């Protein structure tokens, strides 16, 4: 007589189906969020007290010319119809043409985004590279002079207006000391000497083997990146300190110290390892904030990036460009959130179902 043993495949199958269901749910949430973001941005743009038609034809154009452009842009149609036309074009990968440049918005964004990404990438490297050790130090030396110093630095990074810091940085390090380059990505005399391949000035200069442009571009990049990095350092160091304090109060840390482990091992091999996934999420979100929030620094330093393009488009009332930028910003945070969830799944077994 043989016994019928139930196949154990059903339970793993159910487990395997859950991640797919979670991914599907997240994609639906992403689609709804982006749709709501576009809808809100579109209708706010239509009620703004800025006339994009007047920006195109100029203040001296006659009424017939104004009306012709008004009809060509479709502003005579109901708002829902205009929004539907925009969504139809978006479904085919068409973000429309920018009023500012007369070129497709997609082409403009691809042109300006590498400059911001280059700036934000160096900034987050500096911010995380300094903020994480400072946060660990503050937690390890709680209520000491070092802890108070890190907290003061964090408070200063949060409370000081970034545009004021930018202007003071230019005044001190460029005008007075001459340690760094001024506004723009390179000196005017070197502009255009390197063929654009990636859009990243440092990479393109390396590809061309032009070390003069590389040094000059790095000289222009270091100050705005350091100031943005200081802003992100404040957030990252504060979160690192908070995470570490929570870990250092756990029983396994007390056990590790009782066993005679060095303070270095306790901090970095035990406590810090447990907050690594949380820190990756914090750094990823800080990076996303730098990509979309570098508007003031780019304005102060005349940096031809994504933030400057968005600001100019807003001032002109160019809603095609504005909505394209909003969509890019939304996608950045969506991708970073998805990556954060993936990192939790990979590095933290407790989150796996």
How long a stretch of residues is the chain?
353
How do residues 14-42 score in pLDDT, each as one tens digit? Answer: 443 345 666 677 778 777 887 887 888 77
What's the rounded Cα separation, in Å, for the pair 326 and 292? Answer: 9
Whether pLDDT at 303 is above 60: yes
- pLDDT-based confidence at residue 116 (cuts at 50, 70, 90): very high
How do residues 130-184 score in pLDDT, each as one tens digit? Answer: 999 999 999 999 989 999 999 999 888 888 888 888 899 999 999 999 899 888 8
How do residues 185-199 score in pLDDT, each as one tens digit? Answer: 998 888 888 888 888
Helix (H, G, I), strand (E, B) or coil at 97: strand
**Contact by Cβ (8 Å): 217, 205:** yes
CATH number 2.60.260.20 is the correct assignment for the domain at 106-347? no
pLDDT at 138: 93
Q: Where are the domains of the chain?
A: 24-92, 106-347
Question: Which residues, at least 6 apart from 283, have a Cβ–Cβ distance to it below 8 Å?
Answer: 124, 128, 236
pLDDT at 350: 58
Of the CA atoms within 13 Å of residue 300, those in its CB half-sphere come to 22
Tokens of 159: 């409370």
What's the rounded Cα separation, in Å, for the pair 229 and 352? Answer: 34
Q: Tell me what the pLDDT averaged over the chain comes to.
A: 83
pLDDT at 351: 56
- Phi, psi dihedral angles at 135 (to 5 degrees): -65, -40
Q: Please, what's the b/e burial string for 81-97 (b: 16 or more CB within 10 A of its CB; e: otherwise)?
A: ebbeebeeebeeeebbb
Report which of 220, 199, 194, 196 is spatially closest to residue 209, judged by C-alpha positions: 194
Whether pLDDT at 349 is above 70: no
Whether pLDDT at 348 is above 70: no
pLDDT at 15: 41
- Taking CA atoms, 248 is separated from 91, 138, 238, 273, 274, in Å, by 51, 12, 15, 12, 10
- pLDDT-based confidence at residue 12 (cuts at 50, 70, 90): very low
What's the rounded Cα separation, in Å, for the pair 97 and 250? Answer: 57
pLDDT at 25: 76
- pLDDT-based confidence at residue 63 (cuts at 50, 70, 90): confident
pLDDT at 19: 58
pLDDT (average), residues 305-332: 84
Q: Is the pTM of this model over 0.75?
A: yes
How do residues 235-285 score in pLDDT, each as one tens digit? Answer: 999 999 999 999 988 888 888 888 888 888 888 888 898 888 889 889 988
pLDDT (average), residues 218-234: 92
- pLDDT-based confidence at residue 347 (cuts at 50, 70, 90): low
Whether pLDDT at 5 is above 60: no
**Contact by Cβ (8 Å): 304, 185:** yes
What's the rounded Cα separation, in Å, for the pair 106 and 324? Answer: 7
Whether pLDDT at 225 is above 90: yes
């Amino acid at each position: 007589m043989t016994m019928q043993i139930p196949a154990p495949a059903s339970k793993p199958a159910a487990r395997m189906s859950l991640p797919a269901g979670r991914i599907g749910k997240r994609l639906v949430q992403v689609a709804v969020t982006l749709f709501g973001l576009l809808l809100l941005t579109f209708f706010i743009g239509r009620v703004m007290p800025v006339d994009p038609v007047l920006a195109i034809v100029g203040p001296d154009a006659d009424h017939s010319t104004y009306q012709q452009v008004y009809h060509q842009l479709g502003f005579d149609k109901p708002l829902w119809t205009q929004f539907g036309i925009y969504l139809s074009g978006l479904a085919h990968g068409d973000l429309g043409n920018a009023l500012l440049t007369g070129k497709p918005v997609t082409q403009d964004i691809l042109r300006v985004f590498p400059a911001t990404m280059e700036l934000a990438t160096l900034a987050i490297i500096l911010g995380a590279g300094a903020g994480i050790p400072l946060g660990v130090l503050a937690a390890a030396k709680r209520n000491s002079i070092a802890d108070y110093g890190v907290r003061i630095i964090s408070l200063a990074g949060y409370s000081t207006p970034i545009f004021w810091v930018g202007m003071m940085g230019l005044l001190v390090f460029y005008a007075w000391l001459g340690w760094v380059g001024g506004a723009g990505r390179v000196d005017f005399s070197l502009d255009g000497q390197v063929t654009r391949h990636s859009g990243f000035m440092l990479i393109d200069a390396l590809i061309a083997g032009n070390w003069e442009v590389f040094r000059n571009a790095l000289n222009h990049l270091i100050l705005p990146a350091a100031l943005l990095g200081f802003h992100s350092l404040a957030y990252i160091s504060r979160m690192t300190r908070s995470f570490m304090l929570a870990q250092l109060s756990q029983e396994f840390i007390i056990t590790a110290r009782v066993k005679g482990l060095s303070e270095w091992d306790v901090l970095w091999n035990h406590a810090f390892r447990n907050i690594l996934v949380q820190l990756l999420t914090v750094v990823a979100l800080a990076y996303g904030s730098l990509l979309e929030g570098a508007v003031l620094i780019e304005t102060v330093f005349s940096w031809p990036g994504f933030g400057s393009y968005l600001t100019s488009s807003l001032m002109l009332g160019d809603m095609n460009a504005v909505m394209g930028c909003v969509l890019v910003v939304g996608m950045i945070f969506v991708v970073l959130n998805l990556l954060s969830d993936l990192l939790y799944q990979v590095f933290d077994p407790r989150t796996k179902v």
